[in-house]
Structure 1
């Protein structure tokens, strides 16, 4: 049997206590053990180190030369074990490291940007890498540790990942400033006939999140342009004299005007979440950042 496998924390604590007290009875009382139990553990120590370690005297025991040599190393091991299980409370100010946060431009804009000053103030040693979320790769990138945190919709995150809801969001229909559509309420049939700009951050196509909502009302909208980022919408809508649905937290936006739809109709909104790999459930840095972002 490997000698190391025979060593346990109890043996090391008995060794350290004997070095200090040099009395088996005192060590037994101190550790709540019988003197026989202390002697049995001492026998194990002697066998592991092939040395008596402690020689009996009239007043107790005397450490051998090897025992005195081992004293510092044993103390270091016990101190390391104490630090391992009795960690200090998490303090973001002491953090020195990097986190990769993956999200759409919208999520970086409305979640990270407003909290950046607080993050810098509370954790000045933390560096952030903001990356674009690639839906088809997010599971593998989080499993490999390349991505630490994702800010996204529930549907884009694997079901077994841990998550925290940040807020509920809804859409607003917009057109370019000065559009005649802004003069009154618009019927959905009229809206469907307008040229539409959609945002497809996950996959490049002409499919937008409101398509199903129009179809449920027997309408098909005229999509003329798909862009990968929400922050491209204002210039594209104005240039193409088109309309689009934007998350409310991106408004107001220069060059855009919100349209009023009949019966205040609006396509379904969504929850924006922060998600992380289950292995990070006990990571105090992830927990702190998610708490800050959701406050």
Structure 2
């Protein structure tokens, strides 16, 4: 498709915001017929909307390959933006003076890494099913260390679970959820696992696996790296991975070492080939909190959601 002429930014009053919802369903379903079914409209209506969207973006967005559609590179780039904008719009128009969770069809969005998602996910799921069976949940997993884009991120979600992040440039509220402690994760056949004792001098020269280490440089905003920095350890980062649950896969059968949350370590089966040991020196606690934009302080739906997450954390107490 030819590149359209340069456009000035469109004013909201001149946009058909229904196209956002259609775009979201097209990206989710990658099929015009299924998207139409989800939207409750005819297939020709969705095809017409897709044509308008293609003209607007100057891109095919969906490309047919055989009997299926795939997203173009631009569509892939737009997917997360469309999801967050639609979720924020739904929250805006759902805000009111009353909220009945048993009748609500609202979609709530929580942002966190796979660590608190593992600790809290099953309990949040059960509470949501019991108290708000018609509501939906979008559990967004962070893909890298939460950093400079935190202001924008927290405005587009109902809540974010993370450790303390320092200073925000926007007013935020917070409440504590749960605490944890760091363990030393080693391969089950690592020499230190069989040693009578070991110290920092044994761990410091080893290659490290560090989750959410922003880049190959040092220091990093990663919670694990911050803890190592406090110990005076500058790790040789052998593996960076955007997941806590993937860390054991890069430890097993190697000489590598990692800091690992005890709550996750307790879930590791023996066949993963790793073992968690107590650290030889005291470490800071892991302190996970729920954060939200203060614009939602008194929104009944958000107040209810925060209470639900807090109860889930209480049930998850060790």
Task: Give TM-score scaled by structure 2 length.
Answer: 0.57
SS of equivalent residue, structure 2 residue 298: coil
Matching residue within 115, 124, 127 for 2:124: 115
> Aligned pair 1:150/2:164, yes or no?
no
Contact 1:174 1:257 in 2 (8 A): yes
Contact 2:185 2:257 in 1 (8 A): yes
Count of aligned pairs:
204
> Aligned pair 1:160/2:178, yes or no?
no
CA distance in 2, matches of 1:216, 1:155: 16
Distance 1:187 1:98, change over 3 A: same
CA distance in 2, matches of 1:178, 1:194: 15
Distance 1:292 1:216, change over 3 A: closer
CA distance in 1, matches of 2:117, 2:237: 26
Matching residue within 187, 206, 210 for 2:199: 187
Distance 1:218 1:124, change over 3 A: closer
Distance 1:169 1:205, change over 3 A: farther
Matching residue within 117, 136, 140 for 2:152: 140
Deviation at 1:214, TM superposition (A): 4.8
Partner of 2:315: none
The CA deviation string for residues 210-258 of structure 1, in whole angstroms up to 9 with x for no partner, is 5555555554433211111111101011143311011111122132211
Partner of 1:82: none
Deviation at 1:157, TM superposition (A): 7.0
CA distance in 1, matches of 2:97, 2:307: 21
| CA RMSD, 1 decimal | 2.6
Deviation at 1:269, TM superposition (A): 2.2
Partner of 1:280: 296
Partner of 1:169: 180
Matching residue within 266, 283, 308 for 1:292: 308
Over alpha carbons, which structure has the higher Rg? 1
The CA deviation string for residues 68-117 of structure 1, in whole angstroms up to 9 with x for no partner, is xxxxxxxxxxxxxxxxxx966x4321221101111111121112333211
Deviation at 1:259, TM superposition (A): 2.0
Deviation at 1:155, TM superposition (A): 0.7
Contact 2:210 2:239 in 1 (8 A): yes
Task: Give TM-score scaled by structure 1 length.
Answer: 0.62
List runs of 5+ in structure 1 lacking aligned partners: 1-85
